[in-house]
Structure formats: structure tokens, C-alpha cells
Amino acid sequence: MDSFLYNKRLQSPICTGNPWEIQKQEQHKEQPETSFKEILEQKISEESKLSFSKHAVNRVMERNVDVSSANLERLNEGVRLAEEKGLKEPLILVDSTAYVVNLKNNKVVTVVSDESLKGAIFTNIDGTVMI
């Protein structure tokens, strides 16, 4: 046997299975999976002028807080009222959910749901808005 052909056979890759399936699997691996946290942050940023801190997003997920369009709209209304009164760190109550908001940065600092509100003490706030 010719040494050139012999070396070519040794260096060629050996594939088992259907090469088209392998290519499809590699394409699917390249696409990153979006987590629930990323989807939640995207929805909040689309529907609200506020951003949520990492801590607040974790609290929303842990406590199953309803961040529907209607609730975000009410939260934005609370922020508008707080800004009119000159507040800097208000506590905004939307039904039975409390949001502590930093108005300077337009960022929700933390979220407390109805189950955790009993006995809760809020510090570093300068006013409360009930919506």
C-alpha cells in the first residue's frame, strides 16, 4: 500500500451515527438557554421604567410575587406620586406587596410579599405610598 494513502486513512476522522444529527446537536449547544430570572428581568424592563436590583429579583422569585403588567403600572404610579412629594427612598405598598424603591437610581431595592409582612420593619425609608 502506498504510504501516502496509508497516512491519509490514519488522519481522517471516524464518525459514527448520522453526521446531520451531530451538526444539529452542536447548533443547539451554541444557543444559550434563558433562565426564568433572565425572562423576569426582561419583562420588568419592558413594562416599567424602574429596574430591579439582583436582591429584589431574587425576592420576587423566592416569594412568588405577582409582577403582572397591572401591578407594575400601579408601582410606577406610586413612584410618580413619591417623586411629586420629593421622597428619595419610599416604601410603596401595592395591595399586599411592599416595594422599597431608590428614586435617585430608579431601582427597586427589595420586595416583601404578604406572607413576610407580619412583623416586618422597614428602615432607611422617608415615606410610604399606598396604591
Q: Return the domain boundaries, the chain.
A: 3-130
Instruction: State phi, psi for 127 to the nearest 5 degrees.
Output: 175, 170
* Cell digits of residue 70: 397591572
pLDDT digits over 114-125, tens only? Answer: 878 888 899 999
pTM to 2 decimal places: 0.66
* Cell digits of residue 68: 403582572
Q: Which pLDDT belongs to residue 85?
A: 95
Q: What does the mean pLDDT of the chain come to?
A: 81
pLDDT digits over 78-129, tens only? Answer: 999 999 999 999 999 999 999 999 999 999 999 999 878 888 899 999 999 9
The strand pair at 127-130 and 90-94 is best described as parallel
The stretch 57-71 carries a mean pLDDT of: 88
Contact indicator for 112, 120 with CB cutoff of 8 Å? yes
Strand order in the sheet with 90-94: 51-52, 107-112, 97-102, 90-94, 127-130
Q: Please say whether the dihedral angle defined by the alpha carbons of residues 94, 125, 111 and 38, taken in this order, is positive or negative.
A: positive
